[in-house]
A and B are shown apart, each in its own frame.
Chain A
Amino acid sequence: MATFDINKYRQMFLEEAEDIFETIDTILLDAEETNDMDTETINSLFRSVHTLKGNSASVELAMFAALAHELEFFMDRLRNGDLTFEEGMASLLMEGIDTLKQILELELSEQLEDHFYETTKSVLLQKLNSFSEDTAEIAIINEIYGEENQEFGLITPETVGEDFGLLEIHDGETIDDIPESLDDYFGFFDDEPTPAPIAIESSDDSFGFFDDLISTATSDDSFGFFDEMDLKAITSDDTEGFGFFTETFSAPENKIESAPKVVKEIEKANKSDKVDKVDKEIKKTKIDNTVSSIRVDLSKIDELMNNIGELVIAHSMLTQYTSTMEDQKIKSDLSERLDLIDRHIRELQESVMSVRMVPMETVFSKFPRVIRDTAKKLGKKIDFRHSGESVEIDKAMIEGLTDPLMHIVRNAMDHGIESSEHRLKIGKSETGILMMSAEQANGQMIIKIQDDGSGINVDRVTAKAIENGVIEEHQAASMSKEDKAMLIFAPGLSTAKEVTDISGRGVGMDVVMSNIKKLGGIVKVDTEDGFGTTLTIALPLTLAILDGLNIRVGEEQFILPLSVIIESLNPEPEMIKQIGDKSSEILMLRNEFIPIIRLHELFNIQLEDDHQLTDGLLIVVRSGSDKVALFVDEFMNQQQFVIKPLDKNFRNARGIGGATVRGDGTIGLIIDTMNILERTTY
């Protein structure tokens, strides 16, 4: 059994790589925008690429690893000051990362040809090297001015020895040179420096030591320190002050034995005259430090969920047994304790559910890069804004959601937002705005994608739909503007005059629709000619748990998702109309005609005699964008259900969307209203 399955590890690597690529993209985009890259950023870039290199090599992706090595080498030079960041570098690095992604894909599918690889690599290397030459001069200058710059430059182990290892120098020079300015710069230190009780007696002079930040003497007998300081190290030596050390620096000799704190940010900090900028830096570092996470297979969480389900069932069996007991004392004692267990189980269930939830940020973070690239390709200026990053969404949904969103965004950029020139001509600002927002409302996840472009040309869409036979002319006449706009989701419909490589082939929007439907969501389009389009997607918060209503149909019980129910009523005989024979009944409700589906017939449930609609209840539900009235006998209770797929072990049944394990251990079937009409919706 202990065969080494490289694919398993490759899968793990892939998942990890995806995250890392995302991180890198974010960093680079940021760098491009601000046209700056600080030391911390470079370090984190370097680490990311380094991880990619190391891990890819361990899963035997040699070519990928070699390429990653080149990028790493480049970043290493950036890191140690051989190169300085300049315009265009972020863009080049992005290109490099894209090449990496491409190589990874090809190497995984074993379609990577040596020739292709070599060319790609040499092209990239050439580009990278062009930067090296440009900046060589700067590097030399840095070297020349090295001495003057010593407090400010990035300190490498070699330089530390001479410049900072000796504390006399530090005292002599640094204190003279920087203290006042540092006071100004580092307003984020404790205003009233907190004395460190242990360290105080053991040293005469003052210290300031800070994690990741420059440290220097501030004032007599006072300390400013960060939480990560190593008190032991401080008290164990009687030095008068601490120098600056880089992470890679190992403390020389006896002066500082456990190099107390690391200074990565000297250059940055000294240059920066804005405290808030440094503050931000600290925040960033803090986040990096506190968020620790592990990667868990989703199926393991499902398993956990299953086990809890079993626990619930065992619990309800016990409860049932208790209720049959005769001794009242024992009975009440037992049920009290059972209630306690019940509460714990619920809490457990909630925590397991929360494990599955991830912030929407995970979704949003995929976009800036794509939008930048697409905008560049289209020659448009687009400002991407998003809100609601912290709204949580089921991890299982993200995969199904990213593709449709990507498609919508691409469409909005290509067809929606106009070119800069055109925008200026019609009096809009040059830069188009693309907004994406997420919020939770009414137990649903609402995602909006909004652009301020030209809007959907409803007439053209309708004309095209008629031309393609999606709808008939007479249908179009009776359609509302919203309905017509929804036609963009019809398969094979593109009003783009030209097919570009971004969009326009007409495949896609229908896939968007079907993907979102698959997630149990609905899409709405609002468009205003000349002012833009808003797409609203409403999704259930989770795929795993559903609020449902138990309904009785004959002897059987089914579960109806609460989210699809619009209203329910006890029909009066005059509300029910018929078209043709008895098989097609229609509910006339206010100004609407809603088809009635008798669940008894749909599910082949036997009934003794002629069943009157007025004997039971009609529940009006959403079925896609239509309404359907379901005829049931009775409402039961409302409950939360853990959804389990029916087709894992079997196959799907018409009108059934899934199953759940009920409290008594039996299976309950969940009605899927989406395909209940078995009508081919667009």
Chain B
Amino acid sequence: MAIIESNQLLTFKLGSETYGIQINKVREILTYPTVTPIPDASAWVKGVINLRGEVAPVIDLRVRFNINMDPIYTQRTIIIAVKTQDNRMIGLVVDEVSDMENVDLERLYPAPDMGTSISPEYLKGLFKKEEKMIVILDIDRILDKDEMKRLSRQSNEAQNVYSASA
């Protein structure tokens, strides 16, 4: 069977599980540079970096999906730079980059409705490789502009309530 490029996954680890995103979304893999924090942003937005001349936000997927709420950032922390459908550059912090996998996207197991900290709407599906499970993320959905705005506004409001009462 011919391998279609988009069926290639880049797999990485968040905590102990393996996740994958389509390779054609990935622009670059880099080590953790100096990140400029953005005031008034959610905890999962680490700040902005310079990605090929563009100001790109860095999002920690571990914090975003409650996998590790207090990660440590070192020079060896890895960022995957992805380009979304609407041409936005975004950096994703992951624990480690594992491998490349060929996957038939037609033959994924649907994500279960329960039992996962990541809402199924953000998942393309599950893939079984030998005894391993790879969770395939729908990166465009996760990084959707309105979705991100909505989420960060929510957490801002929470902050504002806090500061108002304080």
- Asked if A pairs with B, the answer is yes
B41 at interface, CB cutoff 8 A: yes
Interface string of A304-316 (1 = CB under 8 A from B): 0011011001000
Please indicate the chain B residues that have their CB under 8 angstroms from the CB of A661 in the complex. 50, 53, 55
Specify which chain B residues have a CB less than 8 angstroms from the CB of A645 in the assembled complex.
Answer: 55
B50 near A665: Cβ-Cβ < 8 Å: yes
Q: Which of B33, B37, B40, B148 contacts A665 (CB 8 A)?
A: B33
Contact yes or no, B40 A648, CB < 8 A: no
Name the contact of B50 in the complex, choosing from A646, A655, A666 (C-beta under 8 A).
A666
A413 at the interface (CB under 8 A from B): no
Q: Return the 6 tightest CB-CB contacts between A and B, nearest first.
A: A306-B53, A603-B39, A650-B57, A667-B36, A649-B88, A659-B55
What is B's interface to A at a CB cutoff of 8 Å?
33-34, 36-41, 45, 47-50, 52-57, 88-90, 145, 148-149, 152
Q: How far is the CA of A138 from the CA of B57 in the complex (A)?
A: 73
Contact call A669/B53, Cβ cutoff below 8 A: no
Distance of A667 Cα from B96 Cα, bound (Å)? 25
From known contacts A603-B40, A604-B40, A655-B40, infer whether A309 and B48 are also in contact, taking CB-CB under 8 Å: no
Is A653 among interface residues, defined by CB-CB distance under 8 A?
A: yes
How far is A649 from B37 in the complex, measured between Cα atoms in Å?
15
Are B48 and A659 neighbours in the complex by a CB distance under 8 Å? yes
Q: Say how far B87's CB is from chain A's closest CB, in angstroms.
A: 9
Sample (5) of A-B pairs whose CB atoms are under 8 Å apart:
A648-B55, A650-B38, A651-B145, A653-B39, A661-B55
| Residue pair B53, A309 in contact (C-beta under 8 Å) | yes
A residues within 8 Å of B by Cβ? 306-307, 309-310, 313, 556, 602-605, 644-646, 648-651, 653-656, 659, 661, 664-669
Residues of A within 8 A of B47 (CB): 667
Cross-chain contact of B39 among A310, A656, A668 (Cβ < 8 A): A656
Which residues of the partner chain A approach B41 to less than 8 Å between Cβ atoms?
Answer: 653
Q: Are A656's CB and B53's CB within 8 A? A: no
Most buried by B among A309, A655, A669: A669
Q: Given A646-B48, A654-B40, A656-B39, list of 19 further CB < 8 A pairs?
A: A306-B52, A310-B53, A604-B39, A605-B39, A644-B54, A649-B55, A649-B57, A650-B38, A650-B90, A651-B149, A653-B39, A654-B39, A656-B38, A661-B53, A666-B33, A666-B36, A667-B47, A667-B55, A668-B36
**Which residue of B has the minimal Cβ distance to A649?**
B88
Chain A residues closer than 8 Å to B33, beta-carbon distance: 665-666
- Determine the chain B residues whose CB is within 8 A of the CB of A603 once the complex forms: 39-40
On whether the beta carbons of B57 and A669 are closer than 8 Å, the reply is no
B86 to chain A, nearest CB (A): 10
Q: Which residue of A has the minimal Cβ distance to B51? A: A649
Q: Are B36 and A306 in contact (CB under 8 A)?
A: no
Assembled-state Cα–Cα distance A654/B45 (Å): 15
B54 A648 Cβ-Cβ under 8 A:
yes
Beyond A646-B48, A666-B49, whether A655 also contacts B54 by CB under 8 A is no
Q: Which of A310, A604, A667 contacts B52 (CB 8 A)?
A: A310
CA distance A653 to B48 in the complex (A): 12
Q: Which residues of B contact A655 (CB under 8 A)?
A: 39-40
Q: Is the CB of A667 within 8 A of B49?
A: yes
Report A601 CB to chain B, min CB distance, Å.
Answer: 9
- A313 contact set on B, CB distance < 8 A: 50
A646-B48, A667-B48 are known contacts. Are A653 and B38 too (CB-CB below 8 A)? yes
B40, B56, B89: which contacts A653 (Cβ < 8 A)? B40
**Which residues from chain B contact A310 at a C-beta distance below 8 Å?**
52-53
Quote the shortest CB–CB distance from A636 to chain B (angstroms).
Answer: 15
Question: Inside 8 A of A648's CB, which chain B residues have their CB?
Answer: 54-55, 88
Docked pose: A509 CA to B148 CA in angstroms: 34
Would you call B89 and A649 a contact (CB within 8 A)? yes
Residues from chain A with Cβ under 8 Å of B54 in the complex: 306, 644, 648-649
| Residue numbers in B under 8 Å from A307 (CB-CB) | 53
Whether A644 lies near B55 (C-beta < 8 A) is yes
- How far apart are the CA atoms of A313 and B40 in the complex, in Å? 28
Q: How far is the CA of A677 from the CA of B45 in the complex (A)?
A: 24
Q: Closest CB of chain A to B132's CB: distance in Å?
A: 33
The one of B37, B48, B50 in contact with A650, judged by C-beta atoms closer than 8 angstroms, is B48
Give the CA-CA distance A556 to B45 in the complex, in Å.
17
Interchain CA distance A313-B34 in the complex, whole Å? 14
Closest to A305 in B: B53
User: How far apart are the CA atoms of A664 and B57 in the complex, in Å?
Assistant: 18
Tell me, rounded to whole Å, the shortest Cβ–Cβ distance linking A611 to chain B: 17
Bound-state Cα–Cα, A604 to B40, Å: 7
B37 near A556 (CB under 8 angstroms)?
yes
Residue on B with the closest CB to A310?
Answer: B53
Inside 8 A of A309's CB, which chain B residues have their CB?
53
**B94 CB, min distance to chain A CBs, angstroms:** 18
Interface residue from B34, B38, B45 paired with A666 (Cβ < 8 Å): B34
Contact across chains for A667 and B53 when beta carbons are under 8 A apart: no
Q: A310 to B39, alpha carbons, bound, how many Å?
A: 26
Q: A306-B54, A656-B39, A661-B53 are in contact. Are A651 and B152 (CB under 8 A)?
A: yes
Least Cβ distance of B95 to chain A in Å? 23
User: Which B residues are in CB contact (< 8 Å) with A667?
Assistant: 36, 47-50, 55
Q: Give the chain B neighbours of A666 by CB distance below 8 A.
A: 33-34, 36, 49-50
Enumerate chain A residues within 8 angstroms of B45, measured Cβ to Cβ. 650
Chain A hits for B53, CB < 8 A: 306-307, 309-310, 644, 661
Q: Say whether B90 contacts A649, CB under 8 Å.
A: yes
CB distance from A62 to the nearest CB of B (A): 34
A648-B88, A651-B148, A651-B149 given; A669·B36 CB < 8 A: yes
> Nearest residue in A to B146 (C-beta to C-beta)?
A651
Closest partner residue, chain A, to B47 (CB atom)? A667
Nearest chain A CB to B148 CB, angstrom units: 7
Tell me whether B55 and A646 are in contact (CB under 8 A): yes
Task: Specify which chain A residues have a CB less than 8 angstroms from the CB of B39 in the assembled complex.
Answer: 602-605, 653-656, 669
State how many angstroms separate the Cβ of A310 from the closest Cβ of chain B.
Answer: 6
Residue of B nearest to A307 (CB): B53
Closest to A308 in B: B53
Specify which chain A residues have a CB less than 8 angstroms from the CB of B37 in the assembled complex.
556
Least distance between A354 CB and chain B CB atoms (Å)? 20
Closest chain-A Cβ to B25's Cβ sits at a distance in Å of 14
Distance, CA A324 to CA B25, complexed state (A): 39
CA gap between A604 and B88 in the complex, in Å:
27
Residues of B within 8 A of A604 (CB): 39-40
Q: Which residue of A lies closest to B56 (CB)?
A: A649
Q: Which residues of A contact B55 (CB under 8 A)?
A: 644-646, 648-650, 659, 661, 667
A100 to B156, CA, bound (A): 51
Residues of A within 8 A of B56 (CB): 649-650
Which residues from A are CB-within-8-Å of B48?
646, 650, 659, 667, 669
Tell me which residues across on chain A come within 8 A of B148, comparing CB atoms.
650-651
